[in-house]
Amino acid sequence: MTADALPDFEDVFAAAERVRGVARETPILTHDELDEMAGASLFIKAECLQVTGSFKIRGAMNRLSQIPTDQRAAGVVAFSSGNHAQGVARAARLLGMPALIVMPSDAPRIKVAGVEADGGEVRLYDRETESREEIATQIAAERGAVVVPSFDDKDIIAGQGTAGLEFARQMEQAGTPLDHLICCAGGGGLITGVALAMEHLSPGTRIWTAEPVGHDDWARSLEAGEIRANAPGTRSICDAILTPAPGKITFALGKRLLSGGLVVSDEDVRDAMRGAFRYLKIVAEPGGAAALAAAIKGLTDEMRGKRIGVLVTGGNVDAEQFSAVLTD
């Protein structure tokens, strides 16, 4: 892979200007009870309070705003289980572009509704029998639209990295630089973008992935030094981060920038969702709570007693599912 295909810190810095005024600066939250449970000092960045309910607006706005004006009428096509879908739909609406999103038929209803509320068109597909990439490619060819990948794209990664840029600056202003940072990983667009920002602004911070059992492709890939895929048909409640394997671009960055991976069970994730609601008063969707779950249940010995950054990446969970988690 050529160096030109990989984003760098300057791309993240430039993206911050493009998303300014669209993405909001999300707060850093702390709680003594969560610190005690983790055995460390946790600094939790609540991207669940971001526009559209997740960090995805950052990458979507950075990518779509660079589409030439004369190409915008044909619109964009994306494929996503929900959060990228909503980010693309919102960015497209703000830029006056049509958007079609290919979404799994079992996507949370709140995420489908979010796309439609922003004027996006939804094409549902069956995860088991259809390829979302093939569907998106065909529709884009018919319409002359631009396909917007969910993670393995230089501009998407740079846009997501603005969350790390913001996090590092917030911790610097507070005088408490992070020893470690944990972020959920699906395809890896967010965590590698965040790592690019941290490499420049907080080089002493070690970055770790958080993934559900059975979908620990990043942990296994980092250990092996090459991309490892998940077994077909594996499932978890963490719908937002269930990708087959790390992306080619994201792994090229990740194997240089990431320290390793942490793995959590679905019950660990449910506990983290309950903890986020009880102590921080925020709603975290399952995939968005994976890093908090890892911080509470899965810290390594070298992390205990240290300053740990945690990204709670999304809050788009159906009310019925969230209610069931809270009352379980």
Domain count, the chain: 2
Q: Do both 164 and 45 map to the same domain? A: yes
Q: Do both 47 and 76 map to the same domain? A: no
Q: Do both 73 and 48 map to the same domain? A: no
Tokens of 16: 């911050």
Assessment of whether the complete model's pTM goes beyond 0.85: yes
Among 93, 128, 150, identify where a domain stops.
150
Q: Do both 183 and 318 map to the same domain? A: yes
Cα separation, 144 vs 172, whole angstroms: 45
Mean pLDDT computed over every residue of the chain:
96
Give residue 201's identity as a one-letter amino acid code.
L
Q: Do both 49 and 62 map to the same domain? A: no
Helix, strand or coil for residue 97?
coil
- The residue-averaged pLDDT of 75-90 equals 93
pLDDT at position 1: 65
Among 82, 116, 150, identify where a domain stops.
150
Residue 82 has pLDDT above 90, yes or no: no
Which CATH number does the domain housing residue 71 bear? 3.40.50.1100
pLDDT at position 5: 85
- The residue-averaged pLDDT of 272-297 equals 98
- The residue-averaged pLDDT of 188-207 equals 98
Angle at 84 between CA 240 and CA 1, to 5 degrees: 95
Q: Do both 288 and 206 map to the same domain? A: yes
Cα separation, 89 vs 111, whole angstroms: 11
Our separate counts of H helices and E strands in the chain read 14, 10
User: pLDDT tens digits for 256-266?
Assistant: 999 999 999 99
The whole domain housing 95 covers 57-150
- The residue-averaged pLDDT of 181-210 equals 98
Helix, strand or coil for residue 100?
strand
Percent of the chain past pLDDT 90, that is, above it, reads 91
Residue 2 has pLDDT above 80, yes or no: no
User: DSSP labels for 104-155?
Assistant: ETTS-HHHHHHHHHTT-EEEEE-TTT--HHHHHHHHHHHHTPEE--SSSSHH
Among 150, 183, 206, identify where a domain stops.
150
Q: Do both 51 and 64 map to the same domain? A: no
pLDDT at position 106: 87
Q: Do both 223 and 115 map to the same domain? A: no
pLDDT at position 171: 98
User: pLDDT tens digits for 104-141?
Assistant: 998 888 999 999 999 999 999 998 889 989 999 999 99
Residue 252 CB partners (closer than 8 Å, separation 6+) = 1, 5, 6
Q: Do both 239 and 160 map to the same domain? A: yes
Q: Do both 41 and 144 map to the same domain? A: no
Q: Do both 224 and 278 map to the same domain? A: yes
- The residue-averaged pLDDT of 260-284 equals 98
Residue 4 has pLDDT above 80, yes or no: no
- The residue-averaged pLDDT of 186-200 equals 97
For residue 225, count other CB atoms closer than 10 A to its CB. Answer: 9
Q: Do both 213 and 293 map to the same domain? A: yes
Residue 214 CB partners (closer than 8 Å, separation 6+) = 230, 231, 234, 235, 236
